[in-house]
Chains A and B, each alone.
Chain A
Amino acid sequence: MTPPSFSPVGLRFENIDKRYGGLLALRSVSLAIAPGECVVFAGRNGSGKTTLLRIAARLVRPSRGSVSFSESSGDGNENVIRPGFVAHATMVYDELTAEENLLLFARLQDVQRPEDRVDALLKEVGLSERRASLVRTFSRGMRQRVAIARALLHEPAVLLFDEPATGLDPQGVAWLADAIRRLRDSGSTILMSLHGESEISSLGTRAIRLDAGSIAADTRTGATFRSILAIADA
């Protein structure tokens, strides 16, 4: 990945509750993420990982509490605190080509010289030769690469990955792990939800276990870290 042009940004969740009808998906979640941290969220299905990430992306409004980003570089660049988000779904259009998809989002995000940026990202995700192919003709793994390229378009300081390895083959997982490592080392703040221990989870500098919408464990080191990552789906 090309070196980013931002100052690291942190996040703060304060007393977050999220209610879907009668279901309380998140209960009083308070959390401070330091700039440059790589946080792995683990937990069983329905524990609130996706909801927390979608609240961080400002796609979901919390029922109570707030999420805020720490001071940015102060250069007035809105993109710096606009997180890059990779979700379960690919969030790209099947009826457009890989290049058209990336150009569309680059233009919407006011990326400078969008053609050059798209060109560079297509090379980085290994899709240069398929740039003119419709996304609907891609395998799940290739679509996920487009999704990751889309999330990186505006060089966000905060990256949110919701089970980013979904659909990737072992080669793809290795590529993703390498990409996340480089992003982490370049100072990006990364929040990712994962199931179980993997090459990607080992990149985390902090592990948080969510259980029924609450933080059940939060650690940076030692045996607890590994035991949090080892949690598999029920």
Chain B
Amino acid sequence: MSLLPNAAVLLGKELRTEFRSRELLTTTVVFILIVIVLFSFTFDPTSDESRRFAPGLLWLAFLFASSLMLQPCFLREQQNDTLSALRLSVSDPFAIFLAKVAANTLFLLLTELLLLPIFAVMYNVPITRVLHWLVLVFFLASLGISTAGTALSAISAQARMRELLLPLLMLPLLTPILVASTEVTKRLFEREPAVQWTGIGFLAVFDVVFLTALWLFGEYLLEE
């Protein structure tokens, strides 16, 4: 069986278990919602002020929430040593990563899209005109966060201080994504929205580089 059918079977498993328990989605949505609401109290969300602060705040909330979401990614597989069962079953270990990256991207994107309207209302930011561009940025950034985060989750799951290690490794590594996606979003929130192609290009390159690295070296991350 080749890589993609294996990954598709595993993605089905990831979606089935998550939609059955809704643990990750619920935690992440609630966390982001709390951050958005709390920050809305700290400054008067006039349009001008929101355009300056809101993009950074939005992406910081997404980034912290993603560390919550990615933490159990491989920890769950250790509970009954199911990771060993997967390694014994798949022909290419990259299928395990590919399924987890796809699932995490999907969950993160779903959370972001769910919370975007609430964010737009609370911070008085018009999003309808640039929604398609926002979806593109959300997708590229979520893919980058999930790819790097899934790899780091595999590393940290085997460490002793695993709960602390993931955010410590993840947040500095994902700073470039935070900066790029914040800049692109900021330009999209301006009175005269513009697409910052350098930022979008950077996000796409980040995704390709990390996916390639995961494809080349992922097998070693799964070893005991």
Listed in ascending order, the chain A residues whose CB lies under 8 Å from chain B are: 54, 57-61, 78, 82-83, 85, 87-96, 100, 104-105, 107-110, 150
Contact = CB atoms under 8 A, between A and B. Distances in A.
A108 B9 contact: yes
B79 A59 contact: no
Contacts of B91: 78
A82 B88 CA distance: 7
Contact of B82 (A61, A93, A100, A109): A93
14 contacts: A54-B84, A57-B88, A58-B88, A59-B88, A82-B88, A85-B84, A87-B81, A88-B81, A91-B81, A92-B82, A94-B80, A96-B17, A108-B1, A108-B9
A68 B12 CA distance: 34
Which of A82, A88, A109 has the most B CB atoms < 10 Å from its CB? A109
Which of B84, B86, B89 has the most A CB atoms < 10 Å from its CB? B89
Contact of B17 (A85, A95, A109, A150): A95
Interface in B1-33: 1, 6, 9-10, 13, 16-17, 20-21
Interface in B67-93: 79-82, 84-91
Contacts of A91: 80-82, 84-85
Contacts of A95: 17, 20-21
| Size category, B interface | 20 to 34
Interface string B188-224: 0000000000000000000000000000000000011
A92 B80 contact: yes
Interface string B133-168: 000000000000000000000000000000000000
Nearest to A110: B1
A228 to B, nearest CB: 27
A78 B10 CA distance: 20
Contacts of B86: 108
Interface of B: 1, 6, 9-10, 13, 16-17, 20-21, 79-82, 84-91, 223-224
Given A91-B82, A93-B80, A83 B88 contact: yes
A61 B88 contact: no
Contacts of A105: 85, 89
Chain A interface, >50% SS class: loop
B115 to A, nearest CB: 26
A60 B88 contact: no
B87 A107 contact: no
A77 to B, nearest CB: 12
B212 to A, nearest CB: 23
Which of A82, A104, A150 has the most B CB atoms < 10 Å from its CB? A104
Nearest to A135: B80
Nearest to A100: B16
Contacts of B224: 54, 59-60
A128 to B, nearest CB: 22
B13 A96 contact: yes
A87 to B, nearest CB: 6
Contacts of B82: 91-93
B84 A93 contact: no
B80 A59 contact: no
